[in-house]
């Protein structure tokens, strides 16, 4: 299906119909932001990961409809675990768009299930884009016509070539400051995203839209260079790294949700020595400790009026990962008073929740599921991580904009070629050719069939 095809409205109707048939409807998504967005359809939601952590639940014979949104972001392992835990009265609706971003982990089960013949309904009429020319571009991207779409944007005056990196970032910040309301900046990599955030913050201060009084806050920034395999080897850590444990361990005595800082590393024996928040130290083999997130400390400046985003869930505040808000005021005790985008007021102690970042720019992967009136896209064709520039990044980023999209690049002549790169995953499990496709089970017309996909 096509991005911006009215998913929330459609799922609201499906939920009402399923509940009328006696089903309890529950929604999941691979990211916190997508799960929060799914909640707008009126159903109880959580992340897919949180659901899987619960483990196998007893069969109560209750009729349940599970809606898995942004299914393209779910890996083969996750979908396998999810399906294996279903009970006879459970039904599943997979929702997604196979041309948008795929899972970080291996596999592309959402696309594979469709290729294998899963019954699929597609919504192909775009309702998000209100500008006819922009809508035409999104339709081209949905068909995989990336070069033609970029040429179309260029003809519309929406592609700006600025060769100097610093000058290009400054131009994006100035454009943002002209009309900050409901404007989103998208950049492919975290380094440029942070640069844009800082530059926009400074530009808004110069414009008088953000206070010049700054609050320096210690934040925790994820170490993006570490893979899951890296976390099992002591030599991949650095002294000073901050670790958060999402699982308890009887062997190390470290509890779920605890933080620790790396104090020493014994690469030869593969041992880490960490200090917990209560001052006690633990030494262990990182292969024996699962569920670790690794961060480094960084000081960030925030001011009243700044956009702010959470980079980890704050369950005690009922705030999801990547949820956005605006700093309304700050107290003498350092607490920040936020107005979240959903309308809720939140009081935050940064010392208790250091997972914060400025919220002006995000990566295209994080933007999936978002909508903004205006989108400013940064594309540096000289980016070292070239695979971040691809057809999925182009499609997701451009389709976020409701009325306008502007692209800022260093090289307009090669832009279409760079964004045409295909980075589709190989299937985690190769299928043998089969003589027939998967057929939906025959059921009464007033029942919801199992194994059903909605292409959105």
In this prediction, residue 428 carries a pLDDT of 52
Q: Is residue 122 part of a domain?
A: no
| Cross-strand pairs, 216 | 301
Q: Is residue 447 part of a domain?
A: no
In this prediction, residue 450 carries a pLDDT of 45
In this prediction, residue 444 carries a pLDDT of 38
**Pair 201, 255 in one domain:** no
Q: Is residue 456 part of a domain?
A: no
CA–CA gap between residue 23 and residue 285 (Å, rounded): 46
Token pair in block for residue 413: 């002549």
In this prediction, residue 442 carries a pLDDT of 40
In this prediction, residue 154 carries a pLDDT of 96
> Is residue 237 within 8 Å of 272, Cβ to Cβ?
yes
**Pair 173, 310 in one domain:** yes
In this prediction, residue 354 carries a pLDDT of 93
Domain boundary among 238, 267, 296: 296
**Pair 408, 327 in one domain:** yes
Q: Is residue 386 part of a domain?
A: yes
**Pair 315, 207 in one domain:** yes
In this prediction, residue 426 carries a pLDDT of 55
Token pair in block for residue 316: 């005690």
In this prediction, residue 369 carries a pLDDT of 79
Count how many domains the chain has.
Answer: 3
CATH number at residue 274: 2.30.30.30
Token pair in block for residue 78: 């996750």
**Pair 332, 409 in one domain:** yes
**Pair 140, 250 in one domain:** no
Q: What is the pLDDT of residues 423-455, one digit of tens each?
A: 765 555 555 544 444 444 444 333 444 444 444
In this prediction, residue 133 carries a pLDDT of 96
CA–CA gap between residue 413 and residue 159 (Å, rounded): 10
> Is residue 107 within 8 Å of 440, Cβ to Cβ?
no
CATH number at residue 187: 3.40.50.300
**Pair 49, 152 in one domain:** no
Q: Give me the domain span that covers residue 60.
A: 7-116
Which residues of the chain carry a pLDDT beneath 50?
A: 433-456
Domain boundary among 85, 116, 147: 116
**Pair 280, 349 in one domain:** no
In this prediction, residue 239 carries a pLDDT of 96
Task: For residue 400, give the nearest of 56, 76, 134, 16 by alpha carbon.
Answer: 134
Task: For residue 245, give the nearest of 231, 259, 263 by alpha carbon.
Answer: 259
Give start and end residues of each alpha helix (H) in 117-178: 132-142, 146-155, 165-178
Domain boundary among 404, 419, 434: 419
Q: Is residue 448 part of a domain?
A: no
């Amino acid at each position: 299906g096509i991005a911006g095809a009215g998913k929330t409205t459609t799922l609201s109707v499906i939920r009402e119909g399923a509940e009328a048939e006696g089903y309890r409807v529950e929604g999941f998504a691979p990211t916190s932001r997508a799960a929060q967005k799914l909640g707008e359809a009126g159903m109880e939601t959580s992340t897919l990961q949180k659901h899987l952590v619960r483990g196998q639940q007893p069969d109560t014979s209750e009729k349940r409809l599970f809606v898995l949104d942004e299914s393209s972001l779910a890996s083969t392992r996750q979908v396998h675990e999810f399906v294996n835990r279903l009970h006879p009265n459970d039904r599943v609706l997979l929702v997604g768009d196979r041309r948008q971003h795929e899972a970080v982990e291996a596999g592309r089960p959402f696309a594979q299930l469709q290729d294998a013949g899963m019954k699929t309904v597609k919504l192909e009429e775009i309702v998000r884009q209100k500008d006819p020319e922009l809508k035409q571009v999104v339709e081209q991207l949905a068909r995989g016509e990336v070069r033609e779409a970029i040429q179309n944007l260029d003809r519309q005056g929406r592609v700006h070539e600025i060769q100097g990196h610093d000058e290009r970032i400054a131009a994006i910040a100035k454009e943002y400051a002209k009309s900050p309301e409901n404007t989103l900046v998208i950049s492919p990599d975290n380094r440029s995203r942070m640069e844009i955030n800082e530059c926009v913050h400074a530009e808004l201060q110069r414009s008088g839209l953000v206070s010049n009084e700054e609050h320096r806050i210690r934040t925790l920034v994820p170490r993006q260079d570490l893979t899951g395999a890296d976390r099992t080897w002591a030599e991949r850590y650095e002294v000073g790294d901050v670790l958060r444990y999402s699982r308890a361990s009887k062997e190390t005595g470290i509890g779920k949700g605890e933080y620790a800082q790396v104090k020493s590393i014994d690469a030869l024996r593969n041992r880490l020595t960490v200090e917990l928040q209560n001052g006690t130290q633990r030494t262990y083999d990182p292969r024996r400790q699962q569920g670790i997130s690794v961060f480094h400390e960084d000081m960030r400046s925030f001011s009243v009026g700044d956009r702010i985003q959470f980079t980890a869930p704050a369950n005690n505040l009922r705030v999801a990962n990547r949820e956005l808000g605006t700093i309304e005021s700050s107290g003498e005790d350092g607490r920040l008073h936020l107005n979240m985008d959903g309308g809720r007021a939140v009081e935050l102690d940064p010392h208790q929740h250091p997972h914060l970042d400025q919220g002006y720019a995000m990566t295209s992967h994080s933007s999936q599921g978002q909508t903004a009136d205006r989108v400013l896209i940064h594309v540096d064709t000289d980016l070292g991580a070239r695979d971040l520039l691809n057809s999925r990044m182009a499609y997701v980023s451009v389709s976020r904009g409701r009325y306008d999209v502007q692209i800022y690049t260093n090289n307009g002549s090669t832009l279409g070629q760079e964004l045409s790169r295909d980075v589709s995953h190989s299937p985690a499990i190769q299928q043998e050719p089969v003589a027939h496709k998967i057929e939906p089970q025959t059921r009464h017309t007033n029942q919801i069939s199992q194994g059903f996909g909605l292409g959105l």
